[in-house]
């Protein structure tokens, strides 16, 4: 399938810890490196407008997170440790080192933002700057959950249910789930590129991808929350400059009164603003 990414990006297949991570790299030779991490239920293709613009001045790396797209989909483990954000962050760290980048900026949307947050905590010397798009920290979200949160982020609790309930329900109509979820998250702006949507559907039709994405959410409610609580107890904060951007019409913009104040509890230097969009 032809996806909406220009030919300037070259595909690489790297295998940190034996797990295939689908990787693309392109952009200005010698430009400062930027890693882009996608959200749920997407792939690296979500950056098809952003990546070419960044590539004019940077070396841009795009990956599919483990469990998504054309990356490997290993078992989650008894504690869902296979999809802990710490594990997923390690994948990305090894990828960047194998590409020759010991220091780089990272931007993550949705689940990718949570991976980026953990990367910045676990590898502070490697992350020069971090951008988190349309999220608050997982720990804050769970510890301040209320009725409105449960209704707005109901999929967090649905996807985290024990196997095989969500896998069976999603497997009955994976295309309907993908197109329905993405249409719900859009608030104005341009329609999603049809080729990008087709690519998300292609990848999500794989039962292993459905299971992996559920493991991602199971990890968030268990091992990730434990890791985040432990980091908070140690007083760990993101030391790289952090940019928080969020959609004023999406759930984050409508639900949280002061997104920057929340991130200031988790990072030393925070800047950012809402944008006139949805998720």
> Is residue 274 a contact partner of residue 246, using CB atoms and an 8 Å limit?
yes
57 annotated active-site? no
Residues linked to residue 137 through DSSP beta bridges, in sequence order: none
Of 64, 70, 91, 110, which is the active-site residue?
110
Q: Where in the chain does DSSP place strands (E)?
A: 10-14, 21-27, 32-37, 58-63, 104-109, 127-133, 242-247, 270-275
216 annotated active-site? no
Buried/exposed code over 80-92 (b: 16+ C-beta within 10 A; e: otherwise)? bbbbbbbbbbbbb
Q: What is the DSSP letter of 64?
A: P
Write out the H or E segment, with its range, that includes residue 149.
Answer: helix 147-152
Q: What is the DSSP letter of 101?
A: -
| Sheet containing 104-109, strands listed edge to edge, beginning at the edge strand earlier in sequence | 10-14, 21-27, 58-63, 32-37, 104-109, 127-133, 242-247, 270-275
Q: For residue 134, report the phi and psi dihedrals to the nearest 5 degrees.
A: 60, 45
Residues recognised as catalytic: 110, 279
């Amino acid at each position: 399938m032809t996806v909406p990414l220009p030919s300037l990006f070259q595909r690489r297949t790297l295998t940190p810890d034996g797990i295939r991570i689908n990787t693309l790299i392109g952009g200005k030779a010698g430009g400062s490196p930027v890693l882009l991490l996608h959200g749920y239920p997407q792939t690296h293709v979500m950056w098809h407008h952003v990546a070419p613009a960044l590539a004019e001045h940077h070396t841009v790396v795009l990956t599919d997170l483990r469990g998504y797209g054309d990356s490997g989909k290993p078992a989650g483990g008894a504690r869902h440790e296979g999809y802990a954000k710490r594990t997923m962050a390690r994948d990305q760290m090894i990828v960047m080192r194998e590409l020759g980048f010991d220091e780089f900026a990272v931007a993550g949307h949705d689940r990718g933002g949570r991976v980026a947050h953990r990367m910045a905590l676990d590898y502070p010397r490697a992350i020069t700057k971090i951008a988190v798009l349309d999220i608050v920290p997982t720990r804050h979200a769970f510890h301040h959950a209320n009725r409105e949160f449960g209704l707005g982020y109901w999929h967090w609790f649905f996807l985290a249910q024990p196997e095989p309930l969500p896998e069976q329900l999603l497997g009955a109509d994976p295309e309907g789930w993908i197109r329905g979820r993405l249409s719900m998250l859009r608030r104005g702006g341009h329609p999603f590129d049809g080729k990008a949507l087709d690519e998300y559907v292609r990848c999500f039709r794989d039962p292993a991808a459905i299971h992996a994405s559920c493991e991602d959410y199971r990890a968030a409610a268990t091992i990730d929350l434990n890791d985040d609580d432990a980091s908070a107890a140690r007083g760990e904060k993101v030391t790289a400059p952090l940019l928080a951007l969020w959609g004023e019409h999406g759930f984050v913009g409508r639900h949280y009164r002061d997104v920057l104040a929340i991130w200031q509890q988790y990072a030393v230097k925070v800047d950012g603003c809402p944008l006139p969009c949805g998720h």
